[in-house]
């Protein structure tokens, strides 16, 4: 196996237990559990007693339902009309966030609409999805007339580290829930916090549940360090070594002329495997034998070139760490975020699904 993603089960469980001490949670496993594989992550969470999950799309919800019959599943994105009857049959809960969507669902399901578990999303300031507060009275009328089964009401914080704007969103959310109470609308629970708000406000705005994804997997949800356990390592292998003379070019184009004689190590990971081209000329490096191997040249579709000149005893098929620890050195998702000018979620969800994910028992990232 030339490339792999290793997932530390022990550290996921540590993060999960820490989060559970802060809030009841809905585990967010959308987009194939942040690229780690639902088939890998869900058994870990299920065996730890978690029974509420959130996904992005119906196909993910259906996959989970085939794995476990005794869990609740929320679809956070739009559920296509042709999937609604199946959602009712399989007890898959859907999010509703606009009048047009709600009217379509009522029209399609007819008398069966009360059987569909619905989570009503409100827009409190992100202006992406959700009913506006001005729509609440009409929404309440529709809920009552159609005997809708409202599992929860929720919203989403746009920037948890902007305290002033967060307070405004929370005030609006509370005003909305007061309106629902005034119109005698019954619902199961409220939730607004995701990982960033949970750690920024340490439980102040948890309401009944928090939706937590990235923090479970060790992705830092804030600009400051929250001390979460790191859970993901990405590794490759040296497939070739070239000794290239000063003045020669490497990789594509003519912008990568060597200023010194260089030992070049090639690994079989490129942009098709999820290595983002933004790392070029950003000081990015990999780790080999506990030493830094700078990225040089243009990122290729299936290969990456490394300067291994300063590393002794590099051999064919030696391990190369792209995320994780090697000796006393480490590369974190924050490091890669800096090199690529993107966020941690973007990095791990872009790692090709063709690269095998391996669950380990805890030997990675030990302190």
Known binding residues: 128, 301
β-partners of residue 122 are: 131
Q: Which of 30, 83, 121, 292 is catalytic?
A: 30
Measured from the Cβ of residue 252, the count of other Cβ atoms closer than 10 Å reads 11
Q: Which residue, among 75, 359, 14, 52, has the nearest Cα to 218 in the 3D structure?
A: 14
Binding-site sequence positions for substrate: 128, 301
Contacts of 213 (CB under 8 A, 6+ apart): 27, 28, 29, 30, 34, 54, 194, 195
- The active-site residue out of 89, 182, 252, 353 is 252
Who's near 181: CB < 8 A, 6+ residues apart? Answer: none
- With a CB cutoff of 8 Å and minimum separation 6, the contacts of 90 are 61, 62, 65
| End-to-end CA, the chain | 27
Rounded distance, CA 260 to CA 237, Å?
Answer: 24
- Burial group, residue 134, by CB count within 10 angstroms (0-12, 13-18, 19+): exposed
Cβ distance 154 to 120 under 8 Å?
yes
Is 260 part of the annotated catalytic residue set? no
Tokens linked to 38: 């639902």
Is 30 a catalytic site residue? Answer: yes
Sheet holding 189-191: strands in order across?
189-191, 149-154, 117-121, 93-96, 72-75, 52-55, 25-28, 210-212
Q: Distance of CA 336 to CAs 68, 70, 347, Å?
A: 35, 38, 8
The residues annotated as belonging to the active site are 30, 252
């Amino acid at each position: 196996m030339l490339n792999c993603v290793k997932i530390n089960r022990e550290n996921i469980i540590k993060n999960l237990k820490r989060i559970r001490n802060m809030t009841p949670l809905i585990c967010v496993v959308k987009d194939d559990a942040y690229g780690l594989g639902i088939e890998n992550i869900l058994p870990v969470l299920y065996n730890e007693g978690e029974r509420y999950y959130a996904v992005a799309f119906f196909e993910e919800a259906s996959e989970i339902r085939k794995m476990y019959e005794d869990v609740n599943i929320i679809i956070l994105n739009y559920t296509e009309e042709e999937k609604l009857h199946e959602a009712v049959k399989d007890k898959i809960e859907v999010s509703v966030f606009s009048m047009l969507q709600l009217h379509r669902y009522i029209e399609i399901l007819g008398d069966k609409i009360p059987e569909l578990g619905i989570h009503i999303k409100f827009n409190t300031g992100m202006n992406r999805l959700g009913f506006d507060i001005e729509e609440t009275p009409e929404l309440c009328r529709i809920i009552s007339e159609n005997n809708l089964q409202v599992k929860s009401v929720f919203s989403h914080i746009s920037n948890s580290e902007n305290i002033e704007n967060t307070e405004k969103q929370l005030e609006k959310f509370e005003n909305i829930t007061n309106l629902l109470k005034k119109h005698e609308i019954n619902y199961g629970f409220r939730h607004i916090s995701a990982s960033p708000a949970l750690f920024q406000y340490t439980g102040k705005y948890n309401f009944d549940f928090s939706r937590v994804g990235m923090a479970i997997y060790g992705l830092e949800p804030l600009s400051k360090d929250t001390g979460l356990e790191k859970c993901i390592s990405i590794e490759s292998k040296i497939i070739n070594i070239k000794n290239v003379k000063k003045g020669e070019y490497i990789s594509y184009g003519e912008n990568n002329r060597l200023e010194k004689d260089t030992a070049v190590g090639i690994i079989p990971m490129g942009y098709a495997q999820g290595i983002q081209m933004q790392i070029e000329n950003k000081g990015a490096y990999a780790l080999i034998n506990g030493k830094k191997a700078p990225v040089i040249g243009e990122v290729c579709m299936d290969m990456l070139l490394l300067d291994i000149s300063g590393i002794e005893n590099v051999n064919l098929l030696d391990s190369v760490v792209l995320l994780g620890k090697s000796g006393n050195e480490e590369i974190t998702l924050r490091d890669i975020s800096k090199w690529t000018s993107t966020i941690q979620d973007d990095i791990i969800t872009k790692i090709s699904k063709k690269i095998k994910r391996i669950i380990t028992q805890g030997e990675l990232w030990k302190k």
